[in-house]
Chain A
């Protein structure tokens, strides 16, 4: 009885799948963009914002229809690679966007080079585009390098006269990446790291780590975590009576962090892309208009106050792509190897493109293209983000 039901169900699913596959129109002139974001799994809060942003992408660029095919990789390395191969082999896409998380994006590098398809990652780690080699030749990245952000934190610390700092970060690629960059930046500035502590996202307590930090009596603490779990060490530090300044990274920039952190995260100092405080930027900053138009469009579709800098990383990938399309179209037709190659060259040649997160100028050795215009220091005041001068 049960077995028969299962068979019928399976048959229905298979049939539905076949129909869906056939329904995809095989138009030759449409530019196809394959996208794999982590809309489920541990990075879902970033991936959902990025997937939602796809709905805001233009349906036509330079008079050419553009089709976006969005898949979910759950933050899983092998699924991201499988998605990418599927998009390239079955859908013959001209460009790949994603993935949201660094490990998955790193695994995708090889496929981009093998299939010669340009890829714009929306994951943060600098390892995605440096050191430049034959694989990374095909890969670009929209989020700022951790190094850029780490330098901003260390500059701020030097200005404040801080000589000793403790580090507590995620025990994953995010925390390790930050530890590397932060160690490099502090060494150059002569700041001593008193202790390095790690914790995991679902941990129920960081009391042990915090007590150790307090035993080393640092003048400041840097928390390298993303999203709401980054509030836990800060809350515990304040609970245990730590009075020094606490720095965070740009991984925390969503409103849930403010809500979960409450009064314990007041006065936090962090570097971030200018989009977070777009309305506080001076009108002379060209990023302001671009960022505000993204925020308004996103909020109009998903509700006021829902736009986040993470979703804007995906929108920036589209802006890069859009800027490179016209020149590529004059070289070749979409769907061909020549078009993909021209698209890659076009993105690499972009100069002074204004994005949500800053102004990008690409070069053969820099596939991120951001300079210091892509970062601002902000603090938290009365549960809102305030731009620091």
Chain B
């Protein structure tokens, strides 16, 4: 029953899903390495961006704006309380002025139908800043807490965001416009334009991340914090600022994933969780430490998912999440636990 064209189609499908999981795995690994937070709410950011992007196609003013502004105000209060009034100016700039500026732009641009590229950019701009705001609200107050406490905080943020998502976007799903409707035929393989775009954007984002980590000072600081928090602090790198930067990057990556996934499927306010969970499987396979390994694992997860959908669609999720078990066994035999050191 399986012939070459089916196999190629399944592989292509797996690689496209895998690329998105890969992006999310990157965000998870990055945030965990720098802050020891397992960023479960990354899935919500994905679905919020996708829904915002789909809404912009109808010229809707993004429904996430009140959420962004409210998170900003909350982060401001939280920051002012924690720092007891120090450096209020820059805090206000980042938590009040920036979201307000984004909201202003969004209100102006949204009704214009400014084209897919602008809409995608705007959707990311509306949702991505939520990640650093969440960091300020929920994770910055717990810098020295154990991984477990941070995990519990992350679960709390995830649950809160799911509820707020229902409030903002409503229960219905939406589907964004495709970047390209082109269909290419390469021998036995049918290649959709959207698939090419997903792979292209993912590769570009990964290259940009690589360049950022290798070539910029901020990237080097992030790497230093990831390798050794205390050491980084001793040479004058603020782990707090690194954490903020890591969340910014995670927000941008999640936003990009949301825009890429929106034309592929119907996204719901709570749909991102499962997508994020598959990115998490890939990140776990990579031991929450290695970026290239995480991407490779994400591609494997995508292909396994696609193949099992063909052979045993009943057990697809079971198969995908079972992949993690042999890897965990192998890892626990080879390594000691990650995370509780310092």
A contacts, CB < 8 Å to B: 1-2, 40-42, 44-45, 47-48, 168, 171, 197-209, 211-212, 215, 227-229, 231-232, 239-240, 254, 256, 260
Closest approach, in angstroms, between the C-beta of B238 and any C-beta of chain A?
A: 22
Give B307's nearest chain A residue, CB to CB.
A208
> CB of B130 within 8 A of chain A?
no
Expressed in whole angstroms, the minimum distance between the Cβ of A228 and any Cβ of chain B is 4
Subset of 13 A-B contacts with CB under 8 Å: A41-B270, A45-B170, A45-B172, A198-B316, A199-B313, A200-B316, A204-B265, A207-B10, A212-B310, A227-B172, A228-B266, A232-B265, A256-B174
**Residue in contact with A40 in the complex, picked from B163, B266, B272, CB distance below 8 Å:** B163
A198 to B248, CA, bound (A): 37
20 more A-B residue pairs beyond the given contacts A42-B270, A260-B266, with a C-beta to C-beta distance below 8 A:
A40-B163, A41-B270, A44-B166, A45-B172, A48-B170, A168-B313, A198-B313, A198-B314, A199-B313, A200-B316, A202-B268, A205-B264, A208-B308, A208-B311, A212-B313, A229-B268, A231-B175, A240-B190, A256-B174, A260-B174
CA distance A203 to B190 in the complex (A): 21
Q: B1-59: which have CB < 8 Å to A?
A: 1, 6, 9-10, 13, 16-17, 20
Known: A44-B166, A201-B268, A215-B1. A208 touches B173 (CB 8 A): no
User: Could you say which residues of chain A place their CB within 8 Å of the CB of B17?
Assistant: 204-205
Q: For the complex, is B282 an interface residue (Cβ under 8 Å from A)?
A: no
Report how far A205 CA is from B192 CA in the complex, Å: 13
Q: Say if the beta carbon of B63 comes within 8 Å of chain A.
A: no
Q: Once bound together, how far apart are the Cα atoms of A198 and B308, in whole Å?
A: 11
Q: Chain B interface mostly helix, strand, loop or mixed?
A: helix
The answer for the CA separation of A21 and B337 in the assembled complex, in Å, is 49
Whether A209 and B309, one on each chain, are in contact in the complex, defined by CB atoms closer than 8 angstroms, is yes
CB contact list, B155-184 vs A, under 8 A: 163, 166, 170-175
Sort chain B's interface into a size bin. Answer: 35 or more
B261: contacting residue among A2, A204, A239, CB under 8 A: A204
9 A-B pairs with least C-beta separation: A208-B309, A44-B171, A208-B310, A45-B171, A202-B271, A207-B13, A228-B173, A256-B172, A204-B265
Q: How many A-B residue pairs have CB under 8 A?
A: 106
> Contact: B10 with A211, CB < 8 Å?
yes
Closest to B12 in A: A207
Query: Among the interface residues A1, A205, A228, which one has the most CB atoms of the partner chain B within 10 A?
Result: A205
The interface residues of chain B lying within 8 Å CB-to-CB of A200 are 274, 316-317
Given the interface pairs A206-B309, A208-B308, A209-B309, the reply to whether A260 lies near B13 with Cβ below 8 Å is no
Cβ contact within 8 Å between B273 and A202: yes
Q: Which B residues lie at the A interface, using CB under 8 A?
A: 1, 6, 9-10, 13, 16-17, 20, 81, 141, 163, 166, 170-175, 190, 192, 261, 264-266, 268, 270-275, 306-311, 313-314, 316-317
How distant is the Cα of A260 from the Cα of B172 in the complex, in angstroms?
10
Q: Is the CB of B6 within 8 A of A211?
A: yes
Q: Which residues of B contact A40 (CB under 8 A)?
A: 163, 166
How far apart sit A308 and B163, CA to CA, in the bound complex (Å)? 23
Q: Is the CB of A207 within 8 A of B306?
A: yes
In the assembled complex, which residues on chain A have CB atoms less than 8 Å from the CB atom of B274? 200, 202
Known: A199-B309, A200-B274, A260-B266. A207 touches B1 (CB 8 A): no
Q: Out of A47, A197, A203, A256, name the residue touching B265 (CB < 8 Å).
A: A203
**Which A-chain residue is minimally distant from B310 (CB atoms)?**
A208
Partner of B9, one of A203, A206, A207, A227: A207
Query: In the assembly, what is the distance between CA of A45 and CA of B268, in Å?
Result: 11
Contacts of B81 in A (CB 8 A): 1
Q: A40-B163, A200-B274, A215-B6 are in contact. Are A205 and B13 (CB under 8 A)?
A: yes
Which residue of the partner chain B has the closest CB to A231? B266
Task: Across the interface, name the chain B residue whose C-beta is closest to A47.
Answer: B171
Given A40-B163, A256-B173, verify A201-B310 contact (CB < 8 Å).
Answer: no
Cβ of A254 to closest chain B Cβ, rounded Å: 8
Known: A40-B163, A205-B16, A211-B10. A260 touches B175 (CB 8 A): yes
List of A residues within 8 angstroms of B310 by Cβ: 208-209, 211-212
What residue of chain B has the Cβ atom nearest to residue A203's Cβ? B265
Q: Chain A's nearest CB lies how many Å from the CB of B152?
A: 15
CB distance from B183 to the nearest CB of A (A): 9
Q: A209–B312 Cα gap in the complex (Å)?
A: 9
Which residues of chain A have C-beta atoms less than 8 A from B6's C-beta? 211, 215
State the Cβ distance, A119 to closest chain B Cβ, in Å: 24
Closest beta carbon of chain A to B251's beta carbon, Å: 20
A207 x B309 contact (CB < 8 A): yes
Asked if A208 meets B13 with Cβ closer than 8 Å, knowing A171-B314, A215-B1, the reply is yes
In the complex formed, the residue of A with least CB distance to B278 is A204
Pair A205/B265 contact, Cβ less than 8 Å: yes
Which residues of chain B are within 8 angstroms of A239 by Cβ–Cβ distance?
A: 192
Chain A residues positioned under 8 Å from B9 (CB to CB): 207, 211
Nearest chain-A residue to B265 (Cβ)? Answer: A204
Measured between beta carbons, the chain B residues less than 8 angstroms from A203 are 265
Q: Which residues of A contact B1 (CB under 8 A)?
A: 212, 215
The CA-CA distance from A48 to B172 in the complex, in Å, is 11
Instruction: Report how far A120 CA is from B306 CA in the complex, Å.
Output: 41
Query: Across the interface, which residues of A come within 8 angstroms of B166, CB to CB?
Result: 40, 44
Residues of B within 8 A of A199 (CB): 309, 313, 316
